[in-house]
Structure 1
Amino acid sequence: MGSRVLPAVFATFYAVVFAVLLFVPYVAREYRRRGELGAWTAVLRFAALLYLCGLVDYVLSPLPPITPGFCRFVGEMRPQWEPLRSFRGVRPPGDWNGVVALLAHDSVQQFVLNIALFVPLGILARRLLRRGVFVVGAIGFATSLLIELTQLTGVWGVYPCPYRLFDVDDLIANTCGAVLGRFAAPAVRLLPVRPSGLLPTQPRPVTRFRRLTGMCCDLLVLWWIGSGAAKLVDIGLRTGVLQHRWWLDATALWFGPALFLLLVAVVGGSTPGQHAVRLRPVAASGRRPSPVAVLRRWSVGVGGLGLVQGALNLAGLSSVWLAVTAVWCAVHAVGVFRNRDHRGISGRFAGLHVVDAREPRQQPTVAAAT
């Protein structure tokens, strides 16, 4: 795999990992700050995350191993302080063949690529921060300077000497790229972003997208807690604090997190995912659901998934957890789409509906599909 492709692969992997880890806090923040989760806004946020991961990867990777004689191996990297020095010897084109030769010149290609690398930064700085040309240019310059200083200092002292060149031409090209991105940012308005125009405190309809987002949040919370608990158990076993028991892994990974989510639903009245997307389960009368109804909903929903996965773990069939989770997600997603009020399979089984948490409790209403 080429040196230009491999960093992109790693950047995509890291961006997906960070997106999964930050998904629930991001959803909860958007519903409280904006009142809703815009799909295209989320895409832009992920694009920003992917770009930052890619920027770090392309700047630092590949990280060479520190071996004896490392500085002799990489050679002496003296900073290049003369502006546009890389264009020395580049002749202006006199005809079409000259233009082709100019575009094929290494210095020209490097300069253009450095410009293109920072165009997304200018777009994101304009769209996400709402800043003008001067501020966007300053952000581009500061980011480029940080990169160049990282290279000049050998990743801030990690390496005994620089293994990449500090070049003032990169500062110029990167800053120009950020400014160009600022002027290209209006093109992002072509994306079908349609805010509702409502205040963050005003209720919204209970849509399929919203219900599925809440279910994804519950699934992630179950997985996070289980992964964290399993890691603690592993540390305890390695250090001798815990002794291995046949039920320990299944309890840490699945049973414990599932019971924790049940406790949260009973005490708080809603699951973490419902709380994130600002939904509240109610009985048919509009009142808060009884503990029995919450238990029924949990047993068919994320709690039932945890119990099944824990049982499979005890039976030595933990390798099928991904397939079981995929089937569970598909079945419940179909249930959300087949119900007009989007309460899903677990809601129907428990006799519960979901309403916007911003609806007054004195006058609970079941939101209709839109």
Structure 2
Amino acid sequence: MSAYLIPIKTAALVFPFLALLLALPFMIVQYRRYGSFIFWRAVVLYTFVFYLITAYFLITLPLPSIASVAKLTTPRYNLVPFMALRTFLNTTVFSPLHPGTWLAALKQPGFIQPAFNLLLTVPFGVYLRYYFKRSVPQVLVMTFGLSLFFELTQLSGLYGIYPRPYRLFDVDDLIINTTGGVLGGLIAPALMRAFPSRDEMDAKSRARGSQVTWLRRFVAFLVDNLLGVWLIGAVLELIATLLGVRSALGDVIVTRVLAPVFIFVVYPLVRRGATPGKALVRIRIVQEDGAPVGFGRLLWREFLLYGVAQYSVFGFMQLFNEIFVKFHRTEVNFALLGLFGLVAAFIVLNFLWEMVTRDNHYFYDVWAKTKQVSTIETDAQTKV
């Protein structure tokens, strides 16, 4: 039993990190395709990822030492089909004419190993039919491909890490795994009645696609800042280095002024109010009356957000550190802490209030007389 528990525990440890790594790309795809993110779709897809990780670890773990594998003299592969059936009949107490032996046979290794291989791919077939809407013949082909990948992983000695296979490449595993996937595909329709269908999830996602939620805006914010501003800043700094004109002041101007202005003002001015991140999640900035936003409003809006708001919060945190950690308790520091604290408190309260009310019309949009709209509905109307 420990041979099965170790891979499952390992998958449980790895999955949270992998989920974080996949979170941003996953959300981008969902907002790009549907304009919204629904919880149940996330549950389905993330459990599918967890299942695949677990299945992979089950066929590779625990990992032996390279030295012990080098000493192995066991067969590398079995190409004779139905050896598992012969092993079951020859090594268990099973007798078709004696029902009393049936239950005991199910507890013996000759049955447990093939049964494990069968159950390993049943969830794969269920997911393929339920969410990916594949037919049974497609499930058969795709499960065979997954099983073949597993077997080749074992045959290659984990892609050449080991001098030889430490687990047997077995044609019976291909047959049993594929059968398990098909079985999962066949029972999926009965299970699907208990959960929302893929069509229902898609319809619900598209119905919400016209709403510009805070999470959707936050995904755009991450893309713009983590990829857009950072990438442009890195390119400009590289150019300055090659030209031999790089300096500390220049780096500050590039990363704090030029890159943000390009991403949040120049680019959306050309792209009808969409920054790179907003374009990915299909939203754009417009005036309150729906007219295209101009340079002045964009500059004012981004100054309020990335100038006033951002540096007020940073300033408050820095002064708090100076006063209560470094004990630089001057009157000027206390006055500035109070000033920045008032602005930071207003910003935090505004964000919390808009998140609770779901209005998502933050102070910088109100003062710049702008709003963010979804392009999902516009795109759909254009296609019609």
- Shared fold per TM-score greater than 0.5: yes
Say if 1:167 and 1:233 are closer, same or farther in 2 by CA, change over 3 A. Answer: farther
1:367 maps to what in 2?
Answer: none
Question: How far did 1:21 drift?
Answer: 5.0
Local SS of the residue matching 1:5 = helix
Contact 1:27 1:37 in 2 (8 A): yes
1:71 maps to what in 2?
Answer: 70
Contact 1:123 1:178 in 2 (8 A): yes
Contact 2:27 2:37 in 1 (8 A): no
Say if 1:121 and 1:341 are closer, same or farther in 2 by CA, change over 3 A. Answer: same
Give the letter for the 2:211 counterpart: V
2:299 equivalent to 1:295: yes
2:111 maps to what in 1?
Answer: 108
Local SS of the residue matching 2:371 = strand
Give the letter for the 1:134 counterpart: P
Question: How far did 1:123 drift?
Answer: 1.6
Contact 2:32 2:282 in 1 (8 A): no
TM-score, normalized by length of structure 2?
0.68
Which digits, 9 at most, give the CA deviation of each residue in 1:135-174, with x for residues without a partner?
2122212221221122113234443211221123322321
Which digits, 9 at most, give the CA deviation of each residue in 1:273-312, with x for residues without a partner?
4323322322223222233332343345467777679879
Question: How far did 1:110 drift?
Answer: 2.4
1:176 maps to what in 2?
Answer: 179
Give the letter for the 1:167 counterpart: D
2:211 equivalent to 1:206: yes
2:130 equivalent to 1:127: yes
1:153 maps to what in 2?
Answer: 156
Say if 1:195 and 1:54 are closer, same or farther in 2 by CA, change over 3 A. Answer: closer
Say if 1:293 and 1:243 are closer, same or farther in 2 by CA, change over 3 A. Answer: closer
Contact 1:258 1:306 in 2 (8 A): no
1:262 maps to what in 2?
Answer: 264
Q: Structure 1: 5+ residue runs without aligned partners?
A: 318-326, 362-370
Say if 1:242 and 1:149 are closer, same or farther in 2 by CA, change over 3 A. Answer: farther
Instruction: Show the 5 A alignment for 1:1-370.
Output: 3-13=6-16, 15-23=18-26, 25-31=28-34, 36-64=36-64, 66-67=66-67, 70-72=69-71, 74-80=72-78, 81-83=80-82, 84=84, 85-87=86-88, 88-92=90-94, 101-186=104-189, 187-192=191-196, 194-195=200-201, 204-206=209-211, 210-225=213-228, 258-263=260-265, 264-268=267-271, 269-301=273-305, 334-339=352-357, 341-357=359-375
Say if 1:126 and 1:329 are closer, same or farther in 2 by CA, change over 3 A. Answer: farther
Give the letter for the 1:22 counterpart: P
Question: How far did 1:14 drift?
Answer: 5.4
Give the letter for the 2:181 counterpart: A
Question: How far did 1:249 drift?
Answer: 8.5
* Deviates most, 7-16 or 111-120: 7-16
Q: By percentage of residues, which structure has more helix? A: 2
Question: How far did 1:215 drift?
Answer: 1.7
Give the letter for the 2:167 counterpart: R
Say if 1:283 and 1:277 are closer, same or farther in 2 by CA, change over 3 A. Answer: same
Question: How far did 1:203 drift?
Answer: 9.5
Contact 1:145 1:171 in 2 (8 A): yes
CA distance in 1 between counterparts of 2:230 and 2:346 reads 19
Which digits, 9 at most, give the CA deviation of each residue in 1:241-296, with x for residues without a partner?
99996679878987776445324334321233432332232222322223333234
Local SS of the residue matching 2:147 = helix
Q: Structure 2: 5+ residue runs without aligned partners?
A: 322-344, 380-384
Q: How many residues align?
A: 341
CA distance in 1 between counterparts of 2:250 and 2:65 reads 40
Give the letter for the 1:185 counterpart: A
Question: How far did 1:128 drift?
Answer: 4.1
CA distance in 2 between counterparts of 1:329 and 1:141 reads 55
Contact 2:263 2:275 in 1 (8 A): yes
Task: Name which one, 1 or 2, has greater alpha-carbon Rg.
Answer: 2
Give the letter for the 1:206 counterpart: Q
CA distance in 2 between counterparts of 1:14 and 1:340 reads 30
Contact 1:205 1:356 in 2 (8 A): yes
Say if 1:275 and 1:91 are closer, same or farther in 2 by CA, change over 3 A. Answer: same
TM-score, normalized by length of structure 1?
0.70
1:364 maps to what in 2?
Answer: none
Which digits, 9 at most, give the CA deviation of each residue in 1:43-77, with x for residues without a partner?
3333333333333333334555645x7511x4434
CA distance in 1 between counterparts of 2:119 and 2:347 reads 40
2:382 maps to what in 1?
Answer: none
Contact 1:119 1:181 in 2 (8 A): yes
Local SS of the residue matching 2:7 = coil
Which digits, 9 at most, give the CA deviation of each residue in 1:88-146, with x for residues without a partner?
311237567x5653343233232222222212211222234422222212221222122
Say if 1:38 and 1:13 are closer, same or farther in 2 by CA, change over 3 A. Answer: closer
CA distance in 2 between counterparts of 1:180 and 1:140 reads 11
Contact 2:210 2:376 in 1 (8 A): no
Contact 1:24 1:217 in 2 (8 A): no
CA distance in 2 between counterparts of 1:71 and 1:119 reads 34
Alignment RMSD (CA, Å): 4.7
